[in-house]
Amino acid sequence: MKQPLHRAKIFFGYIMHEKLKLGRRPRCCVEGCTKHGQFMGNYTKDGTPLFRKYCAKHHRQRQAEKKGLSVTQWVNAWHPYKKYRKDYCENAKGQYAGWLHFVCTTKIVMPHLQLDTDHIDGNPTNNDPDNLMTLCKCCHAIKTNLFSDYKTKGRKRLGIAY
Ligand SMILES: [Zn+2]
Ligand SMILES: [Zn+2]
């Protein structure tokens, strides 16, 4: 089932596409890159769309490099709660170790794939750092089930499956 928001995004994307065809869209200035420069979302006074010199991917890479972050870290810095994600499971160490009545022994090899940010009270819109906790996928599944977090209101609207 497609979310209304998702549909709106596709429609918006289509409109943008149609609009952008009118302007001459430059290529990314990185050698060997065939992508177009990223549209900046605004226009000059005479209606010419503004583009970055870099494509979306290379723009992200450059910005992350400037800040000394990995691309994932830089992207997550804009996310309402992913920026609070730690690089270990909090059920394994730190002040919440053993919080789920057992100590996590999952070995974290790829933090960005294995770790989630959990909303402790189950409310997916409460992004207070005190309400956020980093859990590995295993512990997150157990926590969600134990506390019936999947029943909290507003999950469907946000497109959260569990
Ligand atoms: Zn590029
Ligand atoms: Zn864990």
Highest mean pLDDT among 28-32, 37-41, 150-154: 28-32
- pLDDT the model gives residue 96: 85
Ligand number with the minimum distance to the CA of 133:
2
- pLDDT the model gives residue 107: 93
- pLDDT the model gives residue 2: 58
Ligand number with the minimum distance to the CA of 98:
2
Q: How far is the CA of 96 from the centre of ligand 2 (A)?
A: 11
18-22: average pLDDT? 59
Ligand number with the minimum distance to the CA of 115:
2
Q: How far is the CA of 65 from the centre of ligand 2 (A)?
A: 30
How crowded is the C-beta side of 118, counted as CA atoms within 13 Å? 29
Q: How far is the CA of 37 from the centre of ligand 1 (A)?
A: 7
Residue range 109-151, pLDDT digits in tens: 988 889 999 998 888 888 899 999 999 999 999 998 888 877 7
pLDDT above 90 (res 90) = yes
Q: How far is the CA of 66 from the centre of ligand 2 (A)?
A: 32
Q: What is the pTM of this model?
A: 0.61
Q: How confident is the model at residue 95 (pLDDT cuts 50, 70, 90)?
A: confident
pLDDT above 90 (res 55) = yes
- pLDDT the model gives residue 157: 63
- Number of CB atoms found within 10 A of residue 33's CB: 14
Burial of 55 (0-12, 13-18, 19+ CB in 10 A): buried
Q: How far apart are CA 50 and CA 89, in angstroms?
A: 43
pLDDT above 60 (res 21) = no
Is there a contact between 72 and 66 (Cβ–Cβ < 8 Å)?
Answer: no
10 or 154, greater pLDDT: 10
Mean pLDDT of the chain: 84
Q: How far is the CA of 103 from the centre of ligand 1 (A)?
A: 44
Ligand number with the minimum distance to the CA of 31:
1
Q: How far apart are CA 4 and CA 8, in angstroms?
A: 6
Q: How far lies 57's CA from each of 74, 115, 138, 156, in Å?
A: 12, 24, 31, 30
Q: How far is the CA of 155 from the centre of ligand 2 (A)?
A: 23
